[in-house]
Amino acid sequence: MNKKRCLIRKISFTIVLVFVLFSFMATSSWAAKKVEFYQAKANDYI
């Protein structure tokens, strides 16, 4: 029973880690696109 609980904890930890990594990557790429968009807009105004 204890081994099973440990395994479940490891699996859930891995899933959370992957999810956090994925969301961080998605957020950083989205932020980079937004920055590029704002820079393009700023260049249009100047």
pLDDT tens readout for residues 3-42 = 899 999 999 999 999 999 999 888 888 888 887 887 888 7
How wide is the angle at C-alpha 32 spanned by C-alphas 28 and 36, nearest 5°? 170
Model pLDDT, residue 44: 78
Q: Which helix (H) or strand (E) holds 44?
A: helix 2-45
Cα separation values, 20 from 2, 7, 34, Å: 27, 20, 21
Model pLDDT, residue 15: 96
Find the domain containing 11 and state its range. Answer: 1-46
User: Structural domain tally of the chain?
Assistant: 1
Task: Record the pTM.
Answer: 0.56
User: Which of residues 18 and 43 earns the better pLDDT score?
Assistant: 18
